[in-house]
């Protein structure tokens, strides 16, 4: 059984830099219910309670991943967001948000086990596709985050 678990375990790490304040970045990233507004691969978000939401995600692979996201750490002063994940993916994800050079560095880390039955059955052929799917999703998220932050900065300048 241990081999099956390790085959279905994934670690992802992304580093982004955006031209926005850490406070603005934190505000956008901490609001899970609004992810579909700026992150194209997050198809829907349903607020369950103040700390929990359900995301439906789809990138280029022809299926949705449904994930319950529950904040475990929300510390704006430390620039840290961490959530536990359950559903089609189980594990944790975190954002570290640090001001640098008039903008913000973001470190995204995710460690998950795939629970979706189809993906578990096809793990030997699916693993590279899942990694590519995740990379594409993160590119879409980065682009969308930059756009929403630019719009936020522009509307602040206009007022």
pLDDT for 31-67, tens place per residue?
Answer: 999 999 999 999 999 999 989 999 999 998 888 999 9
Please name the residues in contact with 26: beta carbons below 8 A apart, sequence gap of 6 or more.
76, 79, 81, 97
Task: Provide the residue ranges of all domains of the chain, joining segments of one domain with +.
Answer: 2-158
Buried b (16+ CB within 10 A) or exposed e, 141-150: bbebbbebbe
pLDDT for 130-153, tens place per residue?
Answer: 889 999 999 999 999 999 999 988
Positive or negative torsion for Cα 127, 128, 134, 137: negative
The model carries a pTM of 0.89
Assigned fold of 2-158: Alpha-D-Glucose-1,6-Bisphosphate; Chain A, domain 4 (3.30.530)
State in Å, rounded, how far the first CA of the chain is from the last one.
59
């Amino acid at each position: 059984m241990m081999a099956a678990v390790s085959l279905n375990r994934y670690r992802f790490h992304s580093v982004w830099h955006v031209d926005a304040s850490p406070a603005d970045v934190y505000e956008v990233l901490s609001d899970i219910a609004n992810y579909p507004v700026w992150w194209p691969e997050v198809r829907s978000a349903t607020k369950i309670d103040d700390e929990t939401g359900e995301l439906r995600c789809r990138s280029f692979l022809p299926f949705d991943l449904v994930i319950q996201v529950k904040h475990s750490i929300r510390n704006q002063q430390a620039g840290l967001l961490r959530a536990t994940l359950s559903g089609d993916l189980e594990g944790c994800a975190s954002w570290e948000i640090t001001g640098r050079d008039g903008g913000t560095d973001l470190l995204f880390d995710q460690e998950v086990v795939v629970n979706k039955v189809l993906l578990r059955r096809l793990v030997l052929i699916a693993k590279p596709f899942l990694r590519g799917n995740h990379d594409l999703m993160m590119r879409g998220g980065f682009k969308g985050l930059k756009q929403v932050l630019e719009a936020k900065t522009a509307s602040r300048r206009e007022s």
